[in-house]
């Protein structure tokens, strides 16, 4: 319908964009009315994510022009063609800003009717993506009744828009879902170059988005199924509900990834060291608790990596009976669980198996039964 020029606004020393209609369009009274409608609708929707209208006037030769803020960046369509589909977090940010702008337009009583990737302009700011909604040239007032003419871009048009039925905000939400499908996959769910081809494609079930891009969360399949429903009553009621449900679908993806991600691998040496330390502590505790009542009095001690020390002189003959027990511990396996025997209540006699008497003169080498666990002296661990 027109051309867009970069211009210098001399009085304010800034650059702006000027949209001018082509000579062919100027000859059509209907197109001139659409241009005036675009100026009024864009000025009415004063929103941070809608391109701002700075002025509207007619030149000396009768050609109308629209002065807009100058945007630096590219459209969503251009970015997908250049870089491929968006990442899920980028798509979510795009949805947030677009739904915010589109919901505000609906609150102002305006239907855009031409939501598409070419009308979503992406600027790169220091805080990230900045979306601007463009082109209110075929905007329509809500509750305006049946439109006079069918207008829009066929690949993005809803079934009711293609049939010329009475429209509400759900036709814009349908078109936004098409734009999001294109942003995430680079493809259209209902392909076709003409309105008739797209209308025929609406009768078929489109492939699920996770088949087109397996890395996307499965919850998005249900989201697109509802957003692209043929009956407007089956779609989202407004832009806010559409955005919240989209965000929940991506949250479900994050939770699934968090659950399926294995815990970080631990060092083998660190794991064995911790297991050995735990085994030693358990051995000390079990012997202190059950050493005097163990039934393993005559068990043969197994080789142990624990450092042994020379045995102290044996206790005098009048000392209390010594109950022998074997305690084994290894730094690479948990200690054997001792089977404690309940201590009989007095005055029942206690059966004690005494070891054979040992000679008083002892060799300098350590006895196999003389085991001392380092760091536990004083806990009765020498026998």
Specify the pTM.
0.64
CA distance 200 to 109: 31
Q: What is the pLDDT of residues 166-210, one digit of tens each?
A: 889 999 999 999 999 999 999 999 988 788 888 888 878 888 999
- The predicted-structure confidence for 288-305, as pLDDT tens digits, reads as follows 444 444 444 444 444 444
Structure confidence at residue 302 (pLDDT) = 44
At 1, list the tokens: 């319908």
Distance CA 140, CA 152 (A): 11
Q: Are 252 and 226 in contact (CB under 8 A)?
A: no
Whether the upstream peptide bond of residue 168 has omega within 30° of 0, thus cis, is no
Structural domains of the chain ordered from first start: 1-70 (3.30.200.20), 73-259 (1.10.510.10), 288-312+323-355+367-383 (no CATH)
Copy the structure tokens of residue 241.
Answer: 């509900």
Q: What are the beta bridge partners of residue 129?
A: 124
Q: Characterize the bridge pairing of strands 110-111 and 140-141.
A: antiparallel
Distance of CA 286 to the CA centre of its chain: 48
* Residues in the chain, pLDDT under 70: 148, 253-383
Alpha helices in 110-238 (DSSP H): 159-162, 170-185, 195-201, 209-212, 219-227
Catalogue the active-site residues.
Answer: 114
Asked if residue 61 lies in contact with residue 143, where contact means CB atoms within 8 angstroms, the answer is no
Q: Do the beta carbons of residue 301 and residue 368 sit within 8 Å?
A: yes
């Amino acid at each position: 319908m027109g051309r867009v020029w970069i211009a210098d606004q001399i009085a304010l020393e800034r650059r702006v964009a000027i949209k001018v209609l082509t000579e062919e369009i100027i000859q059509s009274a209907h197109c001139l009315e659409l241009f005036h409608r675009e100026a009024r609708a864009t000025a009415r929707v004063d929103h941070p994510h809608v391109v701002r209208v700075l002025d509207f006037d007619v030149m000396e030769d009768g050609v109308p022009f629209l002065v807009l803020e100058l945007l630096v960046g590219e459209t969503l369509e251009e970015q997908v063609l250049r870089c491929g589909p968006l990442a899920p977090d980028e798509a979510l940010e795009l949805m947030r800003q677009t739904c915010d702008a589109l919901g505000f337009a609906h609150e102002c009583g305006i239907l855009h009717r031409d939501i598409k990737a070419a009308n979503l302009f992406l600027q790169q700011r220091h805080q990230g993506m900045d979306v601007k909604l463009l082109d209110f040239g075929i905007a329509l007032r809500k509750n305006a009744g049946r439109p006079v003419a069918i207008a829009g871009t066929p690949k993005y048009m809803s079934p009711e828009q293609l049939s010329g039925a009475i429209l509400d905000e759900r036709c814009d939400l349908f078109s936004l879902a098409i734009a999001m499908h294109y942003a995430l996959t680079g493809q259209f769910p209902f392909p076709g170059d003409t309105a008739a081809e797209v209308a025929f494609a609406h009768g078929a079930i489109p492939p699920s988005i996770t088949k087109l891009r397996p890395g996307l969360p499965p919850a998005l399949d249900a989201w697109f199924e509802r957003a692209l429903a043929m009956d407007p009553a089956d779609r989202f009621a407004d832009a806010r509900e559409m955005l919240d449900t989209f965000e929940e679908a991506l949250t479900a993806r994050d939770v699934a990834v968090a659950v399926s991600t294995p815990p970080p691998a631990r060092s083998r040496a660190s794991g064995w060291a911790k297991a050995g330390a735990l085994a030693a502590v358990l051995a000390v505790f079990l012997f202190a608790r059950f050493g005097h009542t163990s039934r393993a009095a005559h068990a043969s001690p197994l080789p142990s990596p624990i450092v042994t020390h020379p045995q102290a002189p044996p206790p005098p003959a009048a000392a209390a009976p010594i109950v022998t027990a074997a305690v084994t511990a290894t730094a690479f396996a948990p200690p054997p669980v001792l089977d404690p025997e309940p201590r009989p209540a007095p005055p029942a006699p206690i059966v004690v198996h005494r070891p054979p008497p040992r000679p008083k003169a002892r060799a300098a080498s350590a006895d196999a039964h003389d085991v001392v666990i380092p760091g536990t002296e004083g806990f009765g661990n020498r026998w």
